[in-house]
Amino acid sequence: MSNGSATAVNYWPKSSCARAFWSQRELPPYRQLLRDTADWLDPQPGQRWLDLGCGSGQLTRTLWEKSAGSLAEIIALDCAAHNERALAKVRNSVCPSPTERQMRFVHADFSDGLARFDSGSVAGVVSGLAIQYAESYSEERGGWTTDAYESLLADVCRVLRPGGTFVFSVNVPEPAWSKIALYGIPGFFRTGHPLRYVKNSVRMLRYGAWLKREARRGRFHYLPAPVVENKLTRAGFASVEHRVSFAGQADVFRCRAPSAR
């Protein structure tokens, strides 16, 4: 293993990092992002969906509720094993209650691709502020590359059935995490746990600073919307569109796999 990849700090598996980003759901900008993403989701009865980088399971919940519990299966995939607990809470709190088969957690790192999923096996894929963290290090080039990110986009296109939908959000270049925290100030006065709210906001700022540093090194991918659109087109997607959300700190994209392979 090269020095660059061997010394790279990875906070994603840490429970403190997960809790920091779980707390985003309490912030008004995140609620806006969730609404903007949900508006572009149209799950139909009997379909199978994939949630990449599920985190606390808010998009999995959204899929289940928008389908009125009629989906055949939602697979929530994340590299942090403890997010299985968060998904279990979602499963136990939605109505109608899904079986473990209908809403299941898969512990995996999508930087390694989606080889476990057959081509054309899902009707839709959703992801919230996650796929930008697909990482790959090239020892030959001596640095981080976009190879895993671009490979993941192509893999998503592969696993979607013809005409299948991909809805996801990614951060804009140099996201202002402090702006997200500032927009969340009114939530401090509404929450029943103000100390926890402050603690999680500080955590998010700290981990946000780490993410921006790594993005500047090329490890993570905070890219302008036209660059993302170009990558989606090259991966095989059609009908690419996007909107700005998350207090101006994220883009939401919707695109489709080609109708004919």
Answer whether 0.95 is exceeded by the pTM: no
Half-sphere exposure of 145 (CA within 13 A, CB side): 12
CA 204 to chain centre: 16
Closest CA to 260 of 166, 165, 162: 162
Residue 6 has pLDDT above 90, yes or no: no
What percent of the chain has pLDDT above 90?
Answer: 71
Residue 2 has pLDDT above 60, yes or no: no
State residue 117 phi and psi, 5-degree precision: -105, 135
- Please compute the mean of the pLDDT values over residues 226-232 and round it to a whole number: 98
Predicted confidence at residue 260, as pLDDT, reads 77
Predicted confidence at residue 14, as pLDDT, reads 72
Check: CB of residue 81 under 8 Å from CB of residue 107: yes
CA 249 → CA 24, 72, 205, 229, distances in Å?
A: 13, 33, 14, 17
Half-sphere exposure of 243 (CA within 13 A, CB side): 14
Q: What is the pLDDT of residues 175-209, one digit of tens each?
A: 987 777 666 555 544 555 566 666 666 677 778 88
Mean pLDDT, all residues of the chain: 89
Q: What is the CATH number of domain 3-256?
A: 3.40.50.150
Q: How far is residue 225's CA from residue 160's CA, in Å, rounded to a whole number?
A: 22
